[in-house]
Amino acid sequence: MPPTFRVISIGALAAHPLWNEKSDVRPAHATTTLIQSGDATILVDPSLPGKVLEARLHERAGISARAVTHVFLTSLHPIQRRGLAFFEDAQWLVSEAEREAIGIQLVQRIHEAHAAEDQDLVAALGQEIAVVERCRAAPDRLAEGVDLFPLHGVTPGLTGLLIAQTTATVLVCGDAIVTLEHLEAGRIHSPALDLDQARESFAEAVEIADLLVLGRDNVVLNPVRTTLDALRGGDALRGGE
C-alpha cells in the first residue's frame, strides 16, 4: 500500500514579502505534515505547541500524539520544532548534513559564550545542543515510499521528503519553497545561507514533484509540471487532428 500524507497545520510567514508586508503582522509557524506508511507514522516539522498539535492530529487524522513513531525536521530552525519535546516517545530525525552543520555552529558559539562568561547564553545554547544530540541522522528512506530529498541552501542541510504515491509524486519542501507566491515567482525564502544552492534546490523541487507541500503554506499542484503536462496533452491532441 502506498504511503499517505495529510497537512495537519498550514504554516505562515510573520511578514509575507510578496504581499508587501514590511514588518511582522502574524505569528510565524511552519507547515506540519503527517505521513503514514506501513508501521511508520511520521510527523514533519511540529511547529505549533505540543498540545495544539495533539488537538490538530485528532481533528485532521483521528489519531493521538502517542501514535506518532517518528518526527522528522526539514531543518533545525527553532520555528520548525516548537512542539518537538511533546513527542518524547517518537524517534527524532533530521538530515545528517543539517545535524552536523548546526552542531558545529552551536559548539563554536557555546565556546565563545563560555569565554565571555555569559551564563544565560551558555544555558540556552546547552539546550539547543541537547536537541541536536537527541536528533538522529535520518536514513535515506524513512519508510516504504518515503525518501529523503536534499534541498540544501536556505539552511546548510535542509532536506525534504519525497512521497511516492500511485498517481503522483509529493514533495514536502520545508522552507526550500515557502508559499504559493514564492513558488510562482521563483523566489527564495530569506535569509538563505547559500543563495545559489537554494536556487538549485528550488529548481530540483519543481522538476520532480507533482504536488508540493510548501513550508509556510498548503499543499499545491506544481504549476510548472501542470503546464508541461498540459502542453504535452495539447501536442498529442494536435497530432491526432
Backbone angles phi, psi at 35, to 5 degrees: -120, 130
DSSP helix/strand/coil, 205: helix
Where in the chain are the domains? 4-95+138-239
Number of H-type helices and E-type strands within the chain: 6, 12
Q: DSSP for 72-117?
A: EES---GGGGTTGGG-TTSEEEE-HHHHHHHHHHHHHHHHHHHHTT
Spatial CB neighbours of 56, under 8 Å, sequence gap ≥ 6: 8, 9, 32, 48
pLDDT tens-digit readout, 2-58? 999 999 999 999 999 999 999 999 999 999 999 999 999 999 999 999 999 999 999
Distances in Å between the alpha carbon of 125 and those of 87, 92, 106, 136?
21, 19, 7, 19
| Model confidence at 231: pLDDT above 70 | no
How sure is the predictor about 223, in pLDDT bands with cuts at 50, 70 and 90?
Answer: confident
Burial 130-166 (b: 16+ CB within 10 A, else e): ebbeebeebeeebbebbebbbbbbbbbbbbbbbbeee
180: which strand partners? none
DSSP helix/strand/coil, 222: coil
- Quote the CA–CA distance of 40 and 135 in Å, as a whole number: 17
- Quote the CA–CA distance of 164 and 181 in Å, as a whole number: 25
How much is the pLDDT for 239? Answer: 31
| Model confidence at 128: pLDDT above 90 | yes
State if pTM tops 0.85.
yes
Residue with cell 510578496: 18
Distances in Å between the alpha carbon of 241 and those of 227, 230, 237, 238?
21, 17, 7, 5
| Model confidence at 220: pLDDT above 70 | yes
> % helix / strand / coil in the chain, to the nearest 5?
40, 25, 35
Prior bond of 2 cis (ω within 30°): no
How sure is the predictor about 224, in pLDDT bands with cuts at 50, 70 and 90?
Answer: confident
- 4-95+138-239 maps to CATH 1.10.10.10: no
